[in-house]
Amino acid sequence: MAGTNQTVWETHYTRERARQLYPDENVVRLLKRNFAVPQTGTRALDLGSGSGRHLPLLAEHFSEVVACDFSHTSLKMSDCTIKRSQAALPELPFADSSFDFVLCWGVLHYLDAALLGPAVTSLERILKKGGHVFLTLRADSDTHLAAQLHTGDLREGHARLFSKKEALELFARFKTTQYGFIARQPLGEEGLVAHHLLFCEK
Ligand SMILES: C[S@@+](CC[C@H](N)C(=O)[O-])C[C@H]1O[C@@H](n2cnc3c(N)ncnc32)[C@H](O)[C@@H]1O
């Protein structure tokens, strides 16, 4: 199943429209509020970095930024001055306690159920004590993703929707968690795009 999804994402990134240029406003706001002053020696990982839209922003807040995705094509689209690493969650080729911040934006709901627990464990492993992860999980009120998987750009891929309780339980072993929720109806469409937001400290 993971193999199928990898192929689906590789195909997705061969389309020019897969290139996203602007960071999500929620990421902009969180970094400004929590990591306003860049500190020497800080490291951030964009996990599931896609076409790399968050990399220049992360580079404004951390002294070193690494991009990681299982799609080779997506990494080729990203800023080549940033260190890039091709890897498939839950396997992460990074040392224990090596990052201050991990952004995992729109990624974890694409994992097979069996890989999700190990992926959270890997994420926790690579974070420094006191480090943070900011992530989204597609919410069970979402009605948009199913169409993407059946007839849209992610045809033949798979994903899972999460209740708020399931999302919080996955990260229950983190020291603190702040919860948020975003929903939007794309212009001219019926479906709702809905995500749980979690900001967790190890
Ligand atoms: C919806 S895109 C989000 C991309 C980027 N985070 C953004 O916000 O623009 C999901 C990304 O997760 C990557 N991905 C999905 N499953 C993955 C896995 N098991 N390991 C690594 N990357 C994965 C895909 O290749 C894709 O780039």
Instruction: Answer with the residue of higher pLDDT: 82 or 80.
Output: 82
Q: What is the pLDDT of residues 51-73, one digit of tens each?
A: 999 999 999 999 999 999 999 99
Q: What is the pLDDT of residues 151-192, one digit of tens each?
A: 777 777 788 999 999 999 999 999 999 999 999 999 998 889
77 closest CA partner among 67, 65, 91, 62: 67
Tell whether ligand 1 has an atom less than 6 A from the beta carbon of residue 69: yes
pLDDT at 96: 98
CA distances from 99 to 127, 128, 137, 190, 202 (A): 5, 6, 21, 40, 11
pLDDT > 90: percent of the chain: 78
* C-alpha of residue 63 to centroid of ligand 1, in Å: 23
* Mean pLDDT value across residues 78-92: 93
Tell whether ligand 1 has an atom less than 6 A from the beta carbon of residue 104: no
Tell whether ligand 1 has an atom less than 6 A from the beta carbon of residue 159: no
Tell whether ligand 1 has an atom less than 6 A from the beta carbon of residue 144: no
pLDDT at 168: 98
Domains of the chain: 2-35+43-201 (3.40.50.150)
Tell whether ligand 1 has an atom less than 6 A from the beta carbon of residue 107: yes
Nearest C-alpha to atom 13 of ligand 1 is from which residue?
48
Tell whether ligand 1 has an atom less than 6 A from the beta carbon of residue 48: yes
Nearest C-alpha to atom 4 of ligand 1 is from which residue?
50
**Contact 110/159 with Cβ under 8 angstroms?**
yes
Measured from the Cα of 104, ligand 1's closest atom is 6
Confidence label for 103 from pLDDT (cuts 50, 70 and 90): very high
pLDDT at 31: 97
Would you say residue 89 has pLDDT above 60? yes
CA distances from 156 to 5, 50, 115, 167, 192 (A): 8, 19, 19, 24, 20
The DSSP symbol for 76 reads H
Tell whether ligand 1 has an atom less than 6 A from the beta carbon of residue 174: no
Tell whether ligand 1 has an atom less than 6 A from the beta carbon of residue 78: no
Q: What is the pLDDT of residues 109-137, one digit of tens each?
A: 999 999 999 999 999 999 999 999 999 99
Confidence label for 1 from pLDDT (cuts 50, 70 and 90): very low
* Least confident interval from 1-10, 22-31, 127-136: 1-10
pLDDT at 98: 98
Whole-prediction pTM:
0.96
- Among 110, 116, 142, 153, the mutation site with the greatest number of ligand 1 atoms within 8 A of its Cβ is 110
